[in-house]
Structure 1
Amino acid sequence: MYKHILIPIDGSSLANSGLEQGLALARELGASVTVLTVYSHFHMPSMETVQLEGVRQVYEHQAKELASSYLSEAAGKASAAGVACATELRESDTPYQVIVDVAMTHNCDLIAMSSHGRGGMAALLLGSQTQKVLAHSTLPVLVYR
């Protein structure tokens, strides 16, 4: 059935739950996984950019370090589950697009991800990344809640 599953994570407890469920699915199917995390660019206010340059560098370093720790922990969980795992770290302000692009370029045949399950006006206002992946992906998407 599925041979290569993309599992996007963001470090939240909900994403970790989705990771565990995705790894269990991969183990049952004998599939490999790629675990992806995307962190945002640092946005500087238009004024005082010279003074904030140091803040940008600190942010970028800490964001990469934190995202890398999520991926390292995920790789450890995959190893413990006996699932072949690759990891991917990206920087972007459009995580849903990175998720779709990585799934395609890594020849994944399923995206398994968590959703906060917001509905109604909250979903419209917050713009769920999961909803955007569902709208833009040509691959099947399994959503854990």
Structure 2
Amino acid sequence: MFKRILLPTDGSELSLRAVDIGIQLAKQLGAEVFAFHAMEPFETVPYFTEMMIFPEDAYEREVNERAQYYLEEIKQRADAAKVPWNGRHEYAHRPYEAIMNIAHEQKCDLIVMGSHGRKGIDKLLLGSQTNKLLLSTDIPVLVCQ
């Protein structure tokens, strides 16, 4: 049925639960997984560059280290389950679009991801990458809460 499952992660416990579900599903189906982490790009206002407390190179180093940590966590879980895996991270202004693009690029036929299940004003104000993805993609999405 599914041959390649995309596992987007933000490193949260919720996304790791979705990762575990995706890995177990892949194991049962004989599928492989592709882990993905979208990182917010560093943006500055040109006039305040000298006043920045956290310089761009330190920011990039930090988010790249964090992304590597998240992907390593998925690698360990996939290896423990003996599920083939691959993964990568990249910068993205809109993580849901990056998830959709990587799913197509990697020929994934299922996306398994977490959702905080926000409702009402929280959903309106905070938005949901999962919800935006659901409204944008033609690939099936398994949402875990």
Q: Which residue of 2 aligns with 1:129?
A: 129
Superposed counterparts of 1:47-62, under 5 Å: 47-50=47-50, 52=52, 55-62=55-62
* 2:27 corresponds to 1:27: yes
Q: Which residue of 2 aligns with 1:111?
A: 111
Q: Which residue of 2 aligns with 1:2?
A: 2
Partners in 2 of 1:107 and 1:48 — Cα distance? 42
Task: Return the TM-score normalized by structure 1.
Answer: 0.95
Partners in 1 of 2:52 and 2:119 — Cα distance? 37
Task: Return the TM-score normalized by structure 2.
Answer: 0.95
Q: Mark the runs of 5 or more structure 1 residues left unpaired by the alignment.
A: none
Q: Mark the runs of 5 or more structure 2 residues left unpaired by the alignment.
A: none
What's the offset of the Cα at 1:44? Answer: 1.4
Q: Which residue of 2 aligns with 1:67?
A: 67
Q: Secondary structure at the match of 1:47?
A: helix
How high is the sequence identity, in percent, across the aligned residues? 39
Partners in 2 of 1:53 and 1:60 — Cα distance? 14
Partners in 1 of 2:44 and 2:140 — Cα distance? 37
Q: Secondary structure at the match of 2:142?
A: strand
What's the offset of the Cα at 1:53? Answer: 9.2
1:6-64 deviations in whole A, cap 9, x for unaligned?
01001111111111111111111111010000110112134231454971110001100
1:58-104 deviations in whole A, cap 9, x for unaligned?
00011001111110111111010111000111111110000000000
Partners in 2 of 1:54 and 1:121 — Cα distance? 32
Q: Letter of the 1:65 partner, please give it.
A: E
Q: Which deviates more from structure 2 when the two are superposed, residues 128-137 or residues 43-52?
A: 43-52
Q: Which residue of 2 aligns with 1:140?
A: 140
What is the aligned length? 145
Partners in 1 of 2:54 and 2:118 — Cα distance? 36
Q: Letter of the 1:105 partner, please give it.
A: E
> Cα RMSD over matched residues?
1.4
Q: Which deviates more from structure 2 when the two are superposed, residues 46-55 or residues 16-25?
A: 46-55
Q: Which deviates more from structure 2 when the two are superposed, residues 49-58 or residues 106-115?
A: 49-58
* 2:12 corresponds to 1:17: no
